[in-house]
């Protein structure tokens, strides 16, 4: 599963980079030749850009709960997190929970400035762009502007984050 995951991740990230360089904001990439019955069409339908954008809202709402476990529930069991405010790569649930236990102490709330959504197929999509976190620590509010990439995969009918990269903007 990891090799398939890494291949899909590399392909998705290469596509995001190519589209970003070209200045595109494409919604769908690729086609499917599968024929399906009306009953199975919904299960195989490509998600819309709006559906994928909504996954960020779900994630941001999970941050607002203050529960690292609830946030981690949005990640696949073998997900990789390259977090915004840590140098440590997180590649299992325990590591992801640990990161969010610390990150959530800052009461983060994210706002997307720019996003590029690419639906790769019925079960895979990428959302990449720039977001800003409002953080609260010791009674002080601060902002952290960062680049992000979320790779989502529909697993057992549920959209999960399989790869999440977030890094502060160089000028920050």
What's the average pLDDT block by block, 10 residues per block, for the chain (172 residues)? 48 42 39 43 80 98 98 98 96 98 97 98 98 95 97 97 97 72
pLDDT reported for residue 24? 40
- Angle at the Cα of 167 from the Cα atoms of 162 and 172, rounded to 5 degrees: 160
Reduced to 3 states (helix: H, G, I; strand: E, B; else coil), residue 137 is: strand
Reduced to 3 states (helix: H, G, I; strand: E, B; else coil), residue 48 is: coil
Cα–Cα distance between 77 and 64 in angstroms, integer?
Answer: 22
User: Strand pairing partners for 140?
Assistant: 137
Counting Cβ atoms within 10 Å, is residue 33 exposed (0-12), middle (13-18) or buried (19+)?
exposed
Q: Where are the domains of the chain?
A: 2-168
Residues in the chain: 172
Q: Hey, what CATH class is 2-168 in? A: alpha beta
pLDDT reported for residue 18? 38
Distances (CA, A) of 119 to 22, 64, 80, 87: 17, 27, 20, 29
Taking the C-alpha atoms of 148, 60, 63 and 70 in order, what is their torsion angle to the nearest 10 degrees?
Answer: -100
pLDDT reported for residue 42? 52
pLDDT reported for residue 43? 56
pLDDT reported for residue 172? 60
pLDDT reported for residue 171? 83
Strand pairing category for 109-121 and 124-137: antiparallel
Cα–Cα distance between 75 and 162 in angstroms, integer?
Answer: 6
What is the tens place of the pLDDT at every residue in 75-88? Answer: 999 999 999 999 99
């Amino acid at each position: 599963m990891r090799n398939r995951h890494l291949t899909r991740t590399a392909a998705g990230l290469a596509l995001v980079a190519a589209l970003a360089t070209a200045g595109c904001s494409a919604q769908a990439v690729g086609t499917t030749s599968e024929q399906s019955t009306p009953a199975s069409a919904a299960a195989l339908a490509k998600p819309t850009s709006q559906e994928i954008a909504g996954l960020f809202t779900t994630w941001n709402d999970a941050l607002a709960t203050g529960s690292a476990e609830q946030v981690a529930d949005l990640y696949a069991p073998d997900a990789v997190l390259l977090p915004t405010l840590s140098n440590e790569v997180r590649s299992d649930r325990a590591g992801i929970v640990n990161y969010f236990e610390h990150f959530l102490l800052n009461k983060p709330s994210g706002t997307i400035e720019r996003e590029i959504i690419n639906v790769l197929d019925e079960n895979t999509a990428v959302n990449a762009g720039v977001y800003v976190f409002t953080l609260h620590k010791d009674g002080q509010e601060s902002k952290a502007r960062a680049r992000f990439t979320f790779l989502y995969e529909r697993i057992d009918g549920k959209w999960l984050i399989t790869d999440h990269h977030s890094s502060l903007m160089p000028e920050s």
